[in-house]
Amino acid sequence: MDKKLILFVPIGLWLIYVITMSARHPEVRWDWEKEETKTLSFPPGFVWGVATAAHQVEGGCTNNWSEWENTPDENGNPRIHKGNKSGMACDHWNRYREDIGLIESLGVDMYRFSVEWSKIEPQEGQFDYSALEHYKDVCIALKQSGITPVITLHHFTNPLWFEAKGAFEKEENLEYFVRFAEQVFDYLKDHVNIWCTVNEPAVYTYQGYFNGVWPPGKMDPQLAGTVLKNLLEGHVRVYKALKSKKGGTRAQIGIVKNIFPFDPYNRWNPLDWMVTRILDNAFNSVALDFLISGTYDFSMPTMAKVEYENPKAVGTLDFIGLNNYSHQRINSHLNLKQFFTIEFYPHEQMTDMHYPIYPEALYRSIKVASQMGVPIYITENGIADGTDDRRAIYIDRYIRAVSRSIQEGYDVRGYFYWSLMDNFEWTEGYDMKFGLYEVDFITQERKLREGSRRFIEIVEGSKGD
């Protein structure tokens, strides 16, 4: 073969590949000086809220996570940063009335919280109606304060008996999740109209079954593909079960999907692009595609392949809950043990979590979520900022991204800030300060952060529209 051809063909193919990828997946960047001159505007009926999850705020949980927090790893090291344990957390279980007062003073319309399965069904098939009564009291107290409750049925935690059965590793276990969801629905349906079935199924899967840093601490990509499939199938079955119940047709039921756009570290590196696309597919698209088409195709070359069909998955969303915080930047390596790392550029301004402030990520995620063809609620967005010097700008810019997407025609109906108050941030423990309210975990005192005032201003301003 001509020597020149041998050289030019691969160069040509490489250029075509990276240029096509760059054009199809642009890393959107806006001129913020210009963005900040634009008026924020939200349609009538747009809702504002704050979010929490039971294990992170309530205290007194006995579940797969409390067990994880109390079991050192194989080297005898604690699983959680600084050996923190969720323990009494924010004691929200007992202080919910005070906390509802805090929510009210933010001026928001809704409160998204999760019900703790292990408190409601501590033993298989034995329901503790006093726990359900507690959540009913929370809903009533919220409504008396003019705040609409939004319930999440599954937010990462499992009762110990369910975990012992293999939790979402086994499709036959889904009947327990459906039965639990039905019990909660029957008890609370007169007080709650918006239901989130499963929170961030891909995060639960990847942290627990791919990275092995959450319970049950497995690193098994094939099993991860099965667990994700079962969580999505669990959503479908819960949706169908609740819809067929009295009160089901008027209930709004959706799943909460965390969407993080993936970007390559080096846009000229085809390997960075390949890994980026595989991860984007496994983390973001597989779940969304299943809910759009009923076809599940989890594929990680040489590591995992799980295929599944359920045409009944189509049409099981009244809305999509979208959680977004930032993006992920992938640097690939020719090393089978660690074929990529997540790295950011030095000029990217970091949050206290391992990701930067990148408001355009929320806009990009809204575009992705819009494929579902149903209304979008931003069910979580917020910053871990212990020094409170980035919170105001984060809030301002991410909400600007929401406003811009609405102006461009995307059907976003609401925005929930994560989180109402500082809480137990899973493996990161108590060091991540996501709260609009700072919590002193010794005295349980709550205090509004200065940076949170921007959220209150925006909410107030939007009501005057």
**Which amino acid is located at 281 in the chain?**
N
416, 51 contact by CB (below 8 A): yes
Per CB under 6 A, 385 contacts ligand IFM: no
Burial class of residue 456 (count of CB atoms within 10 Å of its CB; 0-12, 13-18, 19+):
middle
Rank residues 69 and 380 by Cβ distance to ligand IFM and give the closer one: 380
425 contributes a contact to ligand IFM by CB under 6 A: yes
Contact 24/393 with Cβ under 8 angstroms? no
Nearest distance in Å: CB 416, ligand IFM: 11
Q: What residues contact 223, with CB distance under 8 A and at least 6 apart?
A: 169, 209
| Shortest Å distance, C-beta 265 to ligand IFM | 22
Rounded-to-10 torsion of CA 214, 215, 216, 217: 30
Number of helices followed by number of strands (H, E) in the chain? 16, 15
> Are the C-beta atoms of residues 284 and 202 closer than 8 Å to each other?
yes
58 binds ligand IFM (CB under 6 A): no
Cα-trace Rg, the chain: 22
Instruction: Output 187 or 418, the one with its CB closest to ligand IFM.
Output: 418
In terms of CB distance, is 42 or 206 closer to ligand IFM?
206
Q: How many CB atoms lie within 10 A of CB 75?
A: 5
Residue 48 contacts residue 460 (beta carbons within 8 Å): no
148, 416 contact by CB (below 8 A): no
* Minimum CB distance to ligand IFM, residue 80 (Å): 13
| Residue 109 binds ligand IFM (CB under 6 A) | no
Q: How far apart are CA 302 and CA 305, in angstroms?
A: 8
Map the footprint of ligand IFM across residues 313-342, applying CB under 6 A: 323
Contact with ligand IFM (CB under 6 A) among 380, 385, 396, 422:
380
Q: How far is the CB of 204 from ligand IFM (least distance, A)?
A: 9
197 vs 462 by CB, closer to ligand IFM: 197
Whichever of 308 and 358 has its CB closer to ligand IFM, that residue is 358
146 sits in the region (left: phi over 0; alpha: psi -120 to 50; else beta) called: left
Which residue lies nearer to ligand IFM by CB, 216 or 247? 216
Residue nearest to ligand IFM (CB): 53
For ligand IFM, which is the closer residue by CB, 162 or 418? Answer: 418
Q: How far apart are CA 258 and CA 362, in angstroms?
A: 11
Residue whose CB is less far from ligand IFM, 53 or 317? 53
Residues in the interface with ligand IFM (CB under 6 A) total 7
The DSSP output letter for 284 is I
Of residues 18 and 61, the one with the C-beta less far from ligand IFM? 61
| Amino acid at residue number 287 | A
Shortest gap between Cβ of 447 and ligand IFM (angstroms)? 20
Alpha carbon of residue 79 to chain centroid: 21
205 Rama class: left (phi>0) / alpha (psi -120 to 50) / beta: alpha
Tell me the closest approach of the beta carbon of residue 362 to ligand IFM, in angstroms.
13
- Please identify which residue in the block is written with the tokens 């276990």: 173
Q: Is 418 in the site for ligand IFM (CB under 6 A)?
A: yes
- Would you call 43 helix, strand, or coil by DSSP? coil
Q: How far is the CB of 34 from ligand IFM (least distance, A)?
A: 30
Nearest approach, Cβ of 214 to ligand IFM (angstroms)? 11
Smallest distance, ligand IFM to C-beta of residue 323, A: 5
290/201 Cα distance (integer angstroms): 13
Smaller CB separation from ligand IFM, 21 or 366 = 366
**At closest approach, how far in Å is the CB of 218 from ligand IFM?**
20
Pick the closest to residue 316 from 282, 281, 290, 285 (CA basis).
290
Of 187 and 262, nearer to ligand IFM (C-beta) is 262
Rounded CA-CA distance 276/90 in Å is 38
Both structure tokens of 294: 């009923």
**Minimum CB distance to ligand IFM smaller for 323 or for 452:** 323
Q: What residues from 16 to 55 belong to the interface with ligand IFM (CB under 6 A)?
A: 53
Residue 39 is classified by DSSP as: P
Subset of residues 188 to 217 that bind ligand IFM, contact rule: CB under 6 A: 200
Q: Which residues bind ligand IFM (CB under 6 A)?
A: 53, 56, 200, 323, 380, 418, 425
